[in-house]
């Protein structure tokens, strides 16, 4: 008895039909077709702007000192030297610092996720924050720098060297710089640099307050003068991010497809990485190392509008600003009359998010 197998359906050329294999993509990344319409962009914009307005109101209304609503309104109206006026004068620059730092971290995280095609990439996971902090702490301890302008350039150098080192370490071995290897290299580098920061801080108890600021992250030193000093760097990072938004969409389709569409892959990655490093280093110089904002916000925004970087980057900026402002308010309220550093609050909230992302990820490279 002979059993005949059913032949495969013929193609137009007479041969068996073979389904083309699907290209593999790193977990957590989705290719965006150039020109593809984002999902619900206007709804996402309205939601994020609403959250941002609420965050600003809470930041001005609530703080380490309990101030009544009438006093806050009198302070906003500029009525004399009342307690409300003093609170408003202190909280408005701090709120502006939270907005700008959060926006920079949100954009930095979105850029790093796009460049590395890694769903858990952000300045903290990749060690960029820690590298900038180590550079500043070392310069304070050994070169006795004290101005924000000096902090900025030192942070840029530390962040850039760390980014290159993490990429080089992650590129070792077969397969090159895979998303998983980059994440592991970033975590290992961050742990090593954190140990160096502690080694520098411990023998110098007299300057422990300044050093602690660069280890935890806080918005308490935000002033109009510091914001004006950092503005040129943040504007440069924003301009670079805007310039690479469309090429990054093409790059998500794969290098060969991006080259076919006329994208200069190397230049696009370099400019996007530079924008992310500048934004991260500037924020670290302004407010210390603050982690997890760049991890959480792009993921939340991507769920609303999809992977189109033309929407993802600006909405990540708005979402990051809202998240960091809420975190700062929470840190001021829960420890009255003191405060909890905003970096501690974001880490407390972000750690479960990182675990959830890692559990849901289907990691294929090791």
208-244 residue pLDDT tens = 566 666 677 888 878 899 999 999 999 999 999 999 9
Domains of the chain from N-terminus onward: 61-88+99-360 (1.10.3470.10)
Burial of 247 (0-12, 13-18, 19+ CB in 10 A): buried
| Residue 31 reports pLDDT greater than 60 | no
Mean predicted lDDT score pLDDT of the chain: 82
- Of 136, 88, 328, the C-alpha closest to 219 is 328
- pLDDT, residue 254, reads 79
Nearest to 134 by CA among 71, 63, 194: 194
Cα separation, 280 vs 64, whole angstroms: 27
Using alpha carbons, list the distances in angstroms from residue 254 to 31, 63, 117, 158: 8, 48, 10, 31
**Cα 333 off chain centre by:** 24
**Residues 132, 105 contacting (CB under 8 angstroms):** no
**Which of the pair, 47 or 360, is modelled with greater confidence?**
47
- Say which residue, 322 or 118, is predicted with more confidence: 322
Structure tokens at 133: 């902090």
DSSP 8-state assignment for residue 299? H
Q: Which two structure tokens, joined as six digits, stand for 166? A: 């993490």
């Amino acid at each position: 008895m002979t059993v005949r197998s059913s032949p495969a359906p013929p193609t137009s050329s007479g041969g068996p039909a073979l389904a083309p294999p699907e290209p593999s993509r790193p977990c957590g990344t989705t290719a965006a077709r150039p020109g593809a319409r984002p999902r619900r962009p206007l709804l996402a914009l309205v939601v994020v702007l609403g959250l941002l307005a609420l965050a600003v109101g809470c930041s001005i209304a609530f703080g380490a000192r309990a101030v009544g609503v009438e006093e806050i309104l009198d302070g906003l109206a500029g009525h004399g030297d009342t307690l409300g006026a003093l609170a408003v004068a202190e909280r408005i620059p701090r709120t502006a610092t939270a907005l700008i730092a959060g926006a920079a971290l949100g954009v930095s995280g979105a850029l790093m996720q796009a460049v590395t095609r890694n769903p858990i990439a952000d300045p903290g996971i990749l060690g960029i924050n820690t590298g900038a902090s180590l550079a500043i702490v070392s310069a304070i301890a050994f070169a006795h720098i004290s101005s924000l302008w000096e902090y900025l350039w030192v942070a840029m150098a530390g962040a850039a060297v760390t980014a290159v080192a993490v990429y080089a370490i992650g590129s070792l071995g077969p397969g090159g710089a895979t998303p998983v290897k980059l994440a592991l290299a970033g975590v290992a580098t961050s742990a090593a640099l954190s140990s160096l920061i502690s080694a520098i801080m411990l023998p110098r108890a007299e300057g422990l307050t300044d050093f602690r600021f660069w280890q935890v992250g806080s918005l308490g030193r935000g002033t109009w003068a510091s914001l004006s000093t950092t503005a040129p760097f943040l504007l440069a990072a924003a301009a670079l991010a805007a310039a690479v938004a469309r090429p990054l969409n093409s790059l998500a389709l794969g290098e060969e497809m991006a080259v076919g569409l006329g994208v200069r892959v190397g230049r696009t990655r370099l400019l996007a990485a530079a924008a992310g490093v500048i934004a991260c280093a500037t924020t670290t110089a302004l407010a210390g190392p603050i982690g997890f904002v760049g991890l959480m916000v792009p993921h939340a925004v991507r769920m609303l509008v999809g992977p189109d970087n033309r929407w993802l980057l600006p909405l990540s900026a708005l979402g990051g600003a809202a998240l960091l402002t809420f975190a700062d308010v929470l840190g001021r309220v829960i420890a009255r009359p003191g405060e909890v550093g905003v970096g501690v609050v974001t880490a407390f909230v972000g750690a479960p998010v990182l675990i959830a992302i890692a559990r849901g990820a289907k990691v294929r490279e090791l």
